[in-house]
Amino acid sequence: MSVVAFDLRNPAAVAEQLDAANRGLAREAETPEEVVRLVVDLADAIAGGGDDGVAAVNPWLWIAVQGAALRAQSALREDDPRRRRQLRLALEQLRFLFARIADRAPVGEDRPSAEIARWLDETLATVSQQRKAELLGVGLRTFQRWIADRNGTTPSAADDRRLRVVARIVNQLRHSLTAPGVVGWFEYPRADLGGARPAELLDDPGRLEQLLGAAAASRGNVAA
């Protein structure tokens, strides 16, 4: 039996997989084994991929995803035809939620650098542009050129990577911290980063997963 691969960092693709599975389920008198496998694999991915795969997701939206995944699993324990009806409802809810996540992903890899820079500037509107430029490791004029509507400049490869890393972390923390609090988060040493400040690790690709995990932990602590 094949295993379904889910990349939670690509919510639009997950939504398409769910839609295809639900349409296939509608054509069958009984629940196909591949649909059962899909539900199990997606639930496993959701249970194990929250800190990384949905680093940029609104935490309350992610709670709804987890609830829908549990309902889909519960439906598998029902007898047909009740199983099919409950499962179709849960799959449609999951499809809707992942499509909504995709619509709200302002820092996706497919977004141009200028859009991400402008989003960051707007999201941290109460923080000075000078401070935002320092966080990104560039001068104020450089940052202002990035966000210019006309005649803007494009970041170098290294600057673009740091911009996207910062944006992913900001998009996660903004749900639980004020804009100044988000920026301040980068400056405090953290035990889960070996005593390093997050800002010190932004240019190290090997520490990205740790940074995202630390941001997820901070978000969870605030929510608790």
**43-95 per-position pLDDT tens digit:** 888 887 654 445 455 677 788 888 999 999 998 887 766 778 889 999 999 98
Q: What percent of the chain has pLDDT over 70?
A: 86
pLDDT of residue 55: 45
User: Mean pLDDT across the chain, nearest whole number?
Assistant: 84
Residue for token pair 């591949």:
34
**pLDDT tens digits for range 181-218:** 999 999 999 999 999 999 999 999 888 888 888 887 77
pTM recorded for the entire structure: 0.59
The reported pLDDT for the residue numbered 3 is 44
Longest Cα–Cα distance in the chain: 64
CA distance 3 to 11: 18
- Looking at residue 199, what DSSP letter applies? G
CA angle (159, 163, 165) in 5-degree steps: 115
Among residues 58, 82, 60, 62, which one has the least CA distance to residue 70? 62
Quickly tell me which residue has 């290294």 as its tokens: 158
Per-residue pLDDT reduced to its tens digit, 107-154 = 666 688 998 999 999 999 999 999 999 999 999 999 999 999 777 788
